Amino acid sequence: MEILAFGVVPDERPLLEQAFRQRQFAVRCLDVFLHRDTAPLAAGYEVISVSVNARLDAEVLRILADGGTRMIAQRATGFNNIALDTAAELGMTVARVSYYSPYAVAEFAWTLALAVNRRVAHAARRTRDFDFRLDGMMGRDMHGRTAGVIGTGKIGEAFTRIAHGFGMRLLGWDVARNPACEELGMEYAELPRLLQDADLVSLHVPLVPETHHLIDREALRTMKDDALLINSSRGGLIDSEALVEELRGGRFAGVGLDVYEAEEGLFFLDRSLEVMRDDVLARLMTFTNVLVTSHQAYYTRDAVTQIVDTTVSNIEDYVAGRTSANVLVSPGVP
């Protein structure tokens, strides 16, 4: 069986090809992402694999089903981009990667936090021009300050352990408490109190209807004027327009964003020779206390290898008629 893989980036390709070859599958890798216009390329492929920013709405799923696709293996954890009800209606199997290295994302969230706190990107631009002044470069110690961790699952726990290593006070918010975080001294609090007390707020919750714009205008105004805000989870957790307005008011010591709510069609692509048509993103980029990266928090060799291996295992399960916790929807499986 040959698998068609969409959205394969150059660094990922050899890992993907090796994993499929070792498990006796052929794979055809495409660098284009799956959406309405590229979906017809899957015609004749029973199984496809897609990247994190694939659009799998009802229209795309119907195009895939009409072309003979019966199984979709997403190389990502989040599945807010998939119309699961439509997939079930069409009798398709959809699987995801429910777990990979939480350290990749947690460590990158801290990379963003330290970079915006200590103005690393701005300093690098200055020194490249042989400007070695320290004006405007003053940061703050993390030790003794309060970290507010929104979402204390595996990634949030890894982030918390690093914060504990810095000697920070720990506040957490989640629908369920994590005993491992409590053992580190984390106190769980209601969201408004966490936002009000935290010097650093980091987001580690999935994007579901209940968490869309969790950090809205009111939440942003609850935060300290000199707080750090970090999002390495999903862009839709933050109301980007409201964030721009708060930044224009001179608020926040630093904001680090590895994700953006309208990143589809932008992230993972080279748009350097084009006019930026997204006014909100363009305005975010103008603030010297904002650092935007291209959804790369997960992008370590360790994590990508785990993602690829799990993806191949999901396809093996499909071929063998097995199911697992990674299956989101499948004929006969509730």
Catalytic residue status for 96: no
Contact predicate 236/214, CB 8 Å: no
Which string of b and e fits 22-33 if b means at least 16 CB within 10 Å? eeebebebeeeb
Sign of the CA dihedral 113, 115, 117, 121? Answer: negative
3-state per-residue secondary structure call for 219-269? HHHHCCCCCEEEECCCHHHECHHHHHHHHHCCCCCEEEECCCCCCCCCCCC
Q: Which two tokens stand for residue 228?
A: 């750090």
Query: For residues 10 and 21, is the Cβ–Cβ distance under 8 A?
Result: no
Q: How far apart are CA 270 and CA 266, in angstroms?
A: 8
181 neighbors 152 (Cβ within 8 angstroms): yes
Q: How far apart are CA 332 and CA 85, in angstroms?
A: 14
Is 234 marked active-site?
yes
Reduce the DSSP state of residue 279 to 3 states and report it.
helix
Catalytic residue among 35, 204, 263, 283: 263
Q: Is there a catalytic annotation at residue 122?
A: no
Among candidate residues 96, 234, 251, 283, the one labeled active-site is: 234
Residues recognised as catalytic: 234, 263, 295
